[in-house]
Structure formats: C-alpha cells, structure tokens
Amino acid sequence: MASIGDVARLAGVSLGTASRVMNDNPAVTPQLRERVLAAAAKLDYQPNALARALRSSRTHSIGLILPDVTNPFFGELAKHVEQVAAGINYTVMLANSNDDPKAEAEYIKVLTGRQVDGLLIVPCEETRQLPRDIKVPIVLVDRPLRGHSVVQCDHRGGAISAVQHLVSLGHRRIGCIAGPRHLTGARERYEGYRTVAAPIYQANGFDLAADTIVARFDYDCGYDAALKLLARADRPTAIFASSDQQAIGALRAAADLDLKVPGDVSIVGFDAISLAKLVTPRLTTVAQPIAAIADIAVRTVLRARQPGAKVERHRLPTLLQPANSSGPRPGSDQLREAGDNVVALPDRGPAPA
C-alpha cells in the first residue's frame, strides 16, 4: 500500500507539500497540486482518514441519537440528516436509545469516544438533562432541554391550525388525544388545542377534560384512546390527535365501531409521516418541515464548533395538509348542502409535499 512518502517521491516534491495537497491547503500552487494528485492516482494512494482526523481534530462525522428508529417521524428525520451531511462530505453515525436514558448516556460516551464532530440528539422522554462533561457540540432536535441549542417546529401553532380547521367545518365538540405531558412538544400541541377548543367548550357547556385523553405517541395508544372517546353516546364529532400514529390508531378504532370517517367523525393528526398519505381515508395532518429541521440541525451543530458559538433556538412553522379524514360536522348546514347521502368527502388528491 502506497504511503504519502511514496506520493511525494513520485511527484518530486517534499513530504510537507504532498501532505498539504492531500489536506486541501490553498497555499499550494495549481501546478504542484496537479503533480501530487497525478502521482497519488498512479499509486492508488488512499489517505489515512484516522490520521488526518487526529491532525485536524475533525473526523467529518456526526452522531445522531434517536429514541425510537421505528417511529416513522424519526426515521424520516434520520434520512434527511444523512442526506444533508452527505452533501457536505460528512458521515452520520446512528444510535437508537430505545427511549432509555441509560442507553442514551452510553451512546453519548461511545460517539464522543469516536471523535464525532458533533451530536444531534432527540432526548428520551424521561431525560431532563444531559451529562455535563460532553466534549463535543450538541444540538437537540424536537425536544428542548435547558442550556442546549434546539431545532423544532411550532407545535402550538400547528395544533391551533388543526383545530381551527375542524371548527371551520362546523365541529364544536372536538376530542383531543394528547401526547405525554412531560414532553415539551406534546404540551405545546395541547396548549394549541386548548387555545381554540376551550372557549367553544365553555360557551356550549361541554366538559373539555372529559374529551381529553393523554396517551403515548403510538398506534396502539391512539387506538385505545379513540375507543374511549368514540364509544360514548355523547362522543365528539371530531378528534385532534397529537401525532399521526395516534390518528391512524383512531382511524382503526372508528372502523371497529362502524363509524365512517369523516361522515360520522373527523380525525386530524400531526407530523405528516409517509403513512398518512397511504391510509384510507387519507389523513388530514399538520406537516413538520422535516427536511428543513434536519438541514438547520446539521449546520447548527457544525457552527457550534466555532469559537464563541452561542446557544441557538430555531422554531420552524408547520403546514396544515387537509385531506379526506376531515369533513363537515354530521348534521351541519355544510353537510346538508352537500347532500343527505354524503358519507365521505371527494378525494382531494395527494397531500401537498
């Protein structure tokens, strides 16, 4: 295997010059650079990435720690992080904490031991703070913790747009499948729901607490929560679910109760995972800008390596994507105008990208 010394001898330059060419030093003249690169190609020279990393204190790698790689949202996030990183010649080391704070802490040690240039972390549900002795920059995604840069969407604003959409369709009793209260994003989504729903419930004498169920962000919990809401005689005419997984579970619950969506009940989710476009009916949802979140997170963690870097907080807007799971309230003027036999809204085509 050829060495950098072999390349220098064949090119007729000093070892230092050959090394500067391999490290893209702009001080080398184009003529010398061409000679060295030609010699390296002839010898099939492969630079020692580890040695270069030790010299430059950079490995061109980023660690990404997720709480659940089977969650479609986090899977999409990982895909986009990898794409952004590859575009700037970085690799991504992925770790799945399985929502276990101890595993999360261990992966932080492992990845910093491999000298990654930064860490992107979606903290576990139970994580309240990260270890204090981490030697590399950290940027949190989706779930903020005090003292760290974070990139997230406007959870509250997204929930407001979802519930306002249901109100515009005539719904007044809108149940909520809320996310875990200890997650900031889940609390903000519930606050957005309350902002719109609470005054309506108060005006109509409805019980907001009775129409709210707290559940984890998964299919089974969404199913169970929706069964409780929809099996009642005084069921809501619409449900705002705090995640698409919950909402898809709610679609299944409605089907098992022989309720038509949106003819009998409208359902709206949050996240715009790929599956939202494939279920029947196609799910109305609030889209997080996952590609933009990934792009900003990668660039923020690399920027954090610079001297004097400050904590950054990025909150990105969401986008409501109306589809076929939401429609006029049963018995409303909107529904009667559409015809007494209407069960579901016409197919509106694919949700916007």
pLDDT tens, residue by residue, 68-105: 999 999 999 999 999 999 999 999 999 999 999 999 99
Q: Please report where in the chains the tokens 């196609």 appear, as a residue.
A: 282
Q: Would you place residue 353 in the very low, low, confident or very high pLDDT band (cuts 50, 70, 90)?
A: very low
Give me the CATH number covering residue 181. 3.40.50.2300
Q: Would you place residue 209 in the very low, low, confident or very high pLDDT band (cuts 50, 70, 90)?
A: very high
Tell me how far apart the alpha carbons of residues 68 and 327 are, in angstroms, rounded to a whole number. 33
pLDDT: is 237 or 340 the higher one? 237
Q: What is the mean pLDDT of residues 24-48?
A: 81
pLDDT at residue 348 tops 90: no
Pair 199, 327 in one domain: yes
Q: What is the mean pLDDT of residues 104-109?
A: 94
pLDDT: is 277 or 342 the higher one? 277
pLDDT: is 337 or 291 the higher one? 291
pLDDT at residue 145 tops 50: yes
pLDDT at 345: 32
- Mean pLDDT over all residues of the chain? 88
pLDDT at 2: 77
Pair 205, 331 in one domain: yes
pLDDT at 58: 64
Tell me how far apart the alpha carbons of residues 116 and 122 are, in angstroms, rounded to a whole number. 17
Pair 197, 148 in one domain: no
Q: Would you place residue 57 in the very low, low, confident or very high pLDDT band (cuts 50, 70, 90)?
A: low
Pair 74, 159 in one domain: no
Give me the CATH number covering residue 17. 1.10.260.40
pLDDT at residue 277 tops 50: yes
Q: Would you place residue 20 in the very low, low, confident or very high pLDDT band (cuts 50, 70, 90)?
A: confident
pLDDT at residue 341 tops 70: no
CA atoms within 13 A on the CB side of 211: 25
Range in 85-94, 165-174, 339-348 the model is least confident about: 339-348
Pair 240, 326 in one domain: yes
Pair 74, 124 in one domain: yes
Tell me how far apart the alpha carbons of residues 200 and 193 are, in angstroms, rounded to a whole number. 11
Spatial contact of 217 and 245, defined as CB atoms under 8 Å apart: yes
Spatial contact of 299 and 117, defined as CB atoms under 8 Å apart: no
pLDDT at residue 334 tops 70: no
pLDDT at residue 37 tops 90: no
Identify residue 87 by its one-letter amino acid code.
G
Spatial contact of 157 and 317, defined as CB atoms under 8 Å apart: yes
> Does residue 353 fall inside a structural domain?
no
Q: Please report where in the chains the tokens 């992966």 appear, as a residue.
A: 107
Q: What is the mean pLDDT of residues 140-155?
A: 94
Pair 123, 245 in one domain: no
> Does residue 241 fall inside a structural domain?
yes
Pair 137, 206 in one domain: no
Percent of the chain surpassing pLDDT 70? 90
For strand 266-271 and strand 212-214, is the pairing parallel, antiparallel, or unpaired? unpaired
Number of domains in the chain: 3
Tell me how far apart the alpha carbons of residues 95 and 225 are, in angstroms, rounded to a whole number. 31
pLDDT at residue 190 tops 60: yes
Tell me how far apart the alpha carbons of residues 207 and 269 are, in angstroms, rounded to a whole number. 22
Contacts of 137-146 with C-beta under 8 Å, sequence gap 24+, read 137/301, 137/302, 137/304, 137/305, 137/309, 138/301, 138/304, 139/297, 139/300, 139/301, 139/304, 139/312, 141/77, 141/293, 141/297, 142/77, 142/185, 142/293, 143/183, 143/184, 143/185, 144/184, 144/313
pLDDT at residue 142 tops 80: yes
pLDDT at residue 225 tops 70: yes
pLDDT at residue 257 tops 50: yes
Spatial contact of 227 and 220, defined as CB atoms under 8 Å apart: no
pLDDT at 4: 81
Range in 21-25, 139-143, 344-348 the model is least confident about: 344-348
pLDDT at residue 177 tops 60: yes
pLDDT: is 8 or 279 the higher one? 279
* Structural domain boundaries, residue 16: 4-47
Pair 326, 301 in one domain: no
pLDDT at 94: 96
> Does residue 349 fall inside a structural domain?
no
> Does residue 343 fall inside a structural domain?
no
